[in-house]
């Protein structure tokens, strides 16, 4: 049996019986919360073993009793930022409605902690909350007539798209109504000034329609459209398999 890394032992409450050494003075969750607070306030660049240790009153070496590396610390941070899933699916909800709620809820958690989309993760989910979200997503898809592997792949595709949508929205500064005087507000006008119909015929023809679009919530509008495309594709897969979608 593979030995669990120390941070996973602590997160899962799986510490070996009779472990030697001093009892930890802080919980792994408290350390994760301190790191999340730093990242929320100052960004990922402010995260280091030293800065997090100082935030919880440790020496840097003391922090290594909990996590062996910054990668492990990052995994703890993401687990704390996501928190446990609290979705409850109703018996009358179809799989499309369920997975839409799942995707929107985890996107809300990511929007509250934008750095989560930039964290370098070195393995698939192993922490309690991240695995809890995977379990919840698979539960959302349980009524979809797909194989277990198809459900896992479907969840991976939807979650990858959702994470990228959050990242793009934040990086482009489109998290709310756009100020016409901002770079985002001036974008379409600048593009129109830069392109010409001979070199960029498709952009030139699309420009007037885009300029006339008065959408004030990029995140929600593109969320609905993009996720809808993915779910339509899943329904097409189900139809090709000769099964009934619910």
Ordered per-residue pLDDT tens for the chain, 246 residues = 468 999 999 999 988 765 555 556 799 999 999 999 999 999 999 999 999 999 999 999 999 999 999 999 999 999 999 999 999 999 999 999 999 999 999 999 999 999 999 998 888 999 999 999 999 999 999 999 999 999 999 999 999 999 999 999 999 888 877 666 776 667 777 877 888 889 988 888 876 565 555 556 889 999 999 999 999 999 999 999 875 444
Cα–Cα distance for residue pair 132/129, rounded to 1 Å: 5
Last residue of a domain, one of 31, 52, 82: 82
Q: Report yes or no on 63 lying in a domain.
A: yes
Residues 148 and 230 in one domain: yes
Region of 154 (left: φ > 0; alpha: ψ -120 to 50; beta: rest) is alpha
Residues 32 and 71 in one domain: yes
Residues 106 and 143 in one domain: yes
Give the start-end residues of each E strand in 30-126. Answer: none
162-172 core/surface letters (b: 16 or more CB in 10 A; e: else)? bbebbeebbee
Residues 101 and 159 in one domain: yes
What pLDDT score does 214 carry? 52
Task: Identify the domain containing residue 29 by its residue range.
Answer: 6-82
Q: Residue 108: exposed, middle, or buried by beta-carbon count in 10 A (0-12, 13-18, 19+)?
A: exposed
Q: Output the domain CATH number for residue 125.
A: 1.10.357.10
Q: How far is CA 234 from CA 105, 142, 164, 222, in A?
A: 20, 13, 19, 18
Q: Output the domain CATH number for residue 13.
A: 1.10.10.60
Quickly list DSSP for the chain: -PPPPHHHHHHHT-PPTT--SPPPSS-HHHHHHHHHHHHHHH-GGG--HHHHHHHTT--HHHHTTT-SSHHHHHHHHHHHHH--------TT--HHHHHHHHHHHHHHHHHHSGGGGT----SS--SHHHHHHHHHHHHHTTTSS--HHHHHHHHHHHHHHHHHHHHHHHHTT-SSPPPTTSHHHHHHHHHHHH--TTT-HHHHHHHHHHHT---S-HHHHHHHHHHHHHHHHHHHHHHHTT----
Q: Report yes or no on 126 lying in a domain.
A: yes
Residues 130 and 46 in one domain: no
Beta-carbon count within 10 A of 5 CB: 15
Residues 13 and 132 in one domain: no
Residues 159 and 227 in one domain: yes
Cα–Cα distance for residue pair 75/32, rounded to 1 Å: 9
Compute CA 148 distance to the chain's CA centroid, rounded to the nearest angstrom: 22
- Tokens 């709620």 belong to 101
Give the global pTM: 0.88
What pLDDT score does 1 carry? 47
The number of distinct structural domains making up the chain is 2
């Amino acid at each position: 049996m593979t030995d669990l890394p120390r941070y996973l032992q602590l997160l899962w409450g799986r510490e070996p019986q009779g472990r030697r050494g001093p009892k930890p003075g802080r919980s792994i969750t408290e350390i994760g919360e301190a790191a999340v607070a730093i990242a929320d306030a100052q960004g990922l660049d402010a995260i280091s073993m030293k800065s997090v240790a100082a935030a919880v009153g440790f020496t840097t070496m003391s922090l290594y009793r909990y996590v062996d590396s910054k990668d492990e610390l990052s995994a703890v941070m993401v687990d704390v930022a996501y928190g446990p899933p609290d979705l409850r699916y109703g018996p009358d909800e179809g799989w499309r409605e369920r997975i839409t709620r799942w995707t929107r809820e985890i996107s809300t958690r990511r929007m509250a902690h934008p750095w989560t989309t930039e964290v370098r993760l070195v393995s698939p989910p192993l922490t309690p909350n991240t695995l809890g979200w995977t379990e919840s997503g698979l539960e959302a898809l349980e009524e979809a007539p797909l194989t277990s592997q198809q459900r896992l792949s479907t969840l991976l595709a939807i979650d990858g798209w959702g994470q990228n949508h959050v990242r793009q929205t934040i990086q482009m500064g489109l998290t709310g109504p756009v100020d016409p005087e901002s770079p985002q507000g001036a974008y379409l006008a600048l593009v129109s000034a830069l392109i010409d119909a001979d070199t960029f015929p498709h952009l030139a023809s699309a420009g007037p329609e885009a300029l006339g679009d008065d959408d004030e919530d990029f995140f929600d509008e593109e969320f609905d459209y993009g996720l809808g495309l993915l779910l339509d594709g899943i329904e097409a897969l189900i139809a090709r398999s000769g099964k009934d979608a619910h």
